[in-house]
Structure 1
């Protein structure tokens, strides 16, 4: 019985002690409450302001063209006896592409040569005859003046000296000589040469068939440089200039390249009212092929060395534009004046300086002087 009473007393004492300890804990805030109070801040991401070059970007599309494209037509028609280059073959300037049958042309050369020689002989004979007639006229005149010959003889000598026109004979000789030289040129033209260095992109002839000077036999292209031509509107043309660098995206070549504006039309096309612009690209490895399509990105409204922040950093509040800078772990509201907005960056004309820490994430959840904690960005 006494043991039960002692156990009961011990239990009462322990319960009383626990209650006192619990009541004593009410004198201060619970640990969880203290922690919540300490964590009363807004997490933000920041970036340090700096000067940038910003611009608006306009995208065009265009087709790639070879820098030079020459269609080869033989000067004279003829039978193809040999082809030296085929599709895809690289050729040098003045190299022989194909040759034509020379037999018929050689016959024409021989015939023209004989005619030229005969005409030359006639010209020389006529020239000597006229010289003799003129010499005879001079002698006859002297005799006539001395009374040694009659007037009739003198007049016959005058007639003989003037009856033959050397100019007409000379013209005939020159004409036959020209025909002979043209026949020789035609013989040379049976070896058809490339006027440029490049690659054969088209072959329309076969050995044994006739090549005509009315249809291209081959096409040669120079791919060391290629160009893309686009057409721009009047509000864009004045933002472009010669040698301006342009980024081109070529999906087919799996490549992004930088080209330069080489030509700017000063006048709009009468049909489209657009201004042609040509962009040249260095292509020494020939990875970019004529006929491929390119996406061209042009920068307009370029602003250089201006303070620019990400567009989302600027918040509209009470009919004004503000950004928040972090100072001493607080968000400080600053009203700004903006300029060019590219959609990615916005120019700050007035309101902040270079080197300030701008809130770029979390800016919509802070107020002026609210406590913030930088969790990401340029701390």
Structure 2
């Protein structure tokens, strides 16, 4: 009986020791469940591109006379960049202006009728137009011959030089005769005016006055003839000069030769049109103008106005101006270089804003929309996080990468961001707000049957017992987990020491 009592006491002592051991508290750290925000992000590599990238080209082409900018220079919209040679265009402009004046004069003439003197002037204009047409025709023949047969180009160059020297001598002679005729006209005019005064005072006879008047008219006629001869000699000289320059350019440059052929064709068309106008005007003056002829003269004026506007446009196009504010990124020409139409002369970029261009796969693309805010980290400035907006999402995948190009627009007033720099786009694929969010380490068996340990403690102490609680999770990223079921705001969740716990353990919270 005594032995049984001692055995019973021993069992009670052992049981008391086990209970005491089981009630020893385990230290843990906890957090209070609160509502927050969680995002699932994707980092995509990209590269910075300029906001605007414009290749500037020439509409007409020609020989570069002046380059006014250099790489790295900032330019304003409308600022002159490159100037082409303009001598030929300016000559065409003078010719077009003269043709317009002629057309307007002929219109005025047919509207009011022509005198004998006006008939002579129209005849002279026709002769001049015919001479210009023949000269333009010869120029085209020479240009085509030089372009097609280079074996005779040297001979053509020598012949053109000789023709230029002869035309120069003829022009000098014509100018000399013109000067003499002008002097004679001035003298005759002075004598005529003086004799007119004397005749009105009855100092000289009628016969003397008529003789002086006849001399004055003859001097006028001689002056007009000399003036016309000078103009025709000048046309011949200019034609010979152009022929010589044409022969020289074609001999030295085939591109120039082709352009000269094209220019000669244009000149021939202009001269042909002017000749047609002059011939029509001559016929009108001879026959007298009808209503139809007046309308035709009006049309000729409009045609001449259009031709003048075309040449003015060519002159304007010979000066290349900047289409935007920006920085010169590339200059492709030098003074003296021949440039064809449409060839890129220089490149201008604007980096007041920049794009980050990245290729995004289809599984990421479905989460993106134009206008979405995106965080950007430029690799050379890792400490800065910049915000931008998606401005473009390509509707088609790149056939090489099977990814979709996306462009994000960034402000760059400081211009620290340069084209070619690498950047990371931090794309938000999914986001939940006003939801319970826990650190990812608080959730055990996250990929299988996730659960947490909740601790209920009294306000007087930091000791309580654990409750193993199964939960349902939503969004998960590298650092956070969204709890959508199984946890209420305000409850205490173990975030350190949870791997040693079981349901119902006694724990002591050592730090919240």
- Report 1:1-379 matches (<5 A): 40-128=24-112, 164-254=292-382, 255-265=384-394, 267-269=395-397, 271=399, 275-316=404-445, 320-328=449-457, 329=463, 330-376=465-511, 379=512
Relative distance call for 1:324 and 1:219 in structure 2 (3 A) is same
Shift of 1:231: 4.1
Q: Aligned partners of 2:296, 2:509: CA distance in 1, in Å?
A: 104
The answer to whether the 8 Å contact 2:113/2:288 transfers is no
C-alpha separation in 2, matches of 1:308 and 1:347: 5
Matches of 1:124 and 1:373 in 2, distance apart? 114
Cα deviation, residue 170, structure 1:
3.2
Higher strand fraction (1 or 2) = 1
CA contact (8 A) 2:442 2:495 kept: yes
What is the count of residue pairs matched by the alignment?
313
Deviation of 1:222 (Å):
0.7
What SS does structure 2 have at the residue aligned with 1:217? strand
2-structure distance, mates of 1:333, 1:47: 15
TM-score normalized by the length of structure 2: 0.55
Runs of 5+ in structure 1 lacking a partner?
1-32, 131-158
8 Å CA contact 2:54, 2:348 repeated in 1: yes
Counterparts of 1:162 and 1:104 in 2: how far apart (Å)? 38
The CA distance in 2 between the partners of 1:370 and 1:46, in whole Å, is: 14
Question: Which position in structure 2 is the counterpart of 1:136?
Answer: none
Structure 1 SS opposite 2:344 = coil
Q: Tell me: CA distance 1:45–1:177, structure 2 relative to 1, closer, same or farther (3 Å).
A: same
**Alpha-carbon shift at residue 258 of structure 1 (Å):** 1.6
Aligned equivalents of 1:339, 1:84: Cα separation in 2: 63
Counterpart secondary structure, 1:315: coil
Please tell me whether the aligned partners of residues 62 and 229 of structure 1 are also in contact (alpha carbons under 8 angstroms).
yes
Shift of 1:214: 2.9
Query: Runs of 5+ in structure 2 lacking a partner?
Result: 1-16, 115-286, 458-462
**Partner SS for 1:105:** helix
Q: Distance in 2 between matches of 1:126 and 1:64?
A: 68
Q: Is the 8 A contact 2:64 2:339 kept in 1?
A: yes
Which whole-Å CA distance do the structure 2 matches of 1:51 and 1:212 have between them? 68
CA-CA distance at 1:124 after TM superposition: 3.3
Alpha-carbon shift at residue 298 of structure 1 (Å): 0.7
Task: Determine if contact 2:59/2:342 at 8 Å carries over to the other structure.
Answer: no
Instruction: Give the structure with the higher percent helix.
Output: 2
Deviations 1:167-202 (A, max 9, x none): 444333322211212222322333321110011111
Higher relative contact order structure (alpha carbons within 8 Å, sequence separation ≥ 6): 2
Matched residues in 2 for 1:56 and 1:268: separation?
25
Contact 1:253/1:287, CA 8 A, preserved across alignment: no
Kept in 2, the 8 Å contact 1:313–1:358? The answer is: yes
**TM-score w.r.t. length of structure 1:** 0.73
The RMSD of aligned alpha carbons is: 3.1
SS at match of 1:81: strand
The one-character-per-residue Cα deviations of 1:41-92 (angstroms, maximum 9, x if unpaired) are 4333322222222222122222221111111113332333333321111111
CA drift of 1:331 comes to 2.5
Q: What is the CA–CA distance in structure 2 between the aligned matches of 1:335 and 1:253, rounded to whole Å?
A: 44
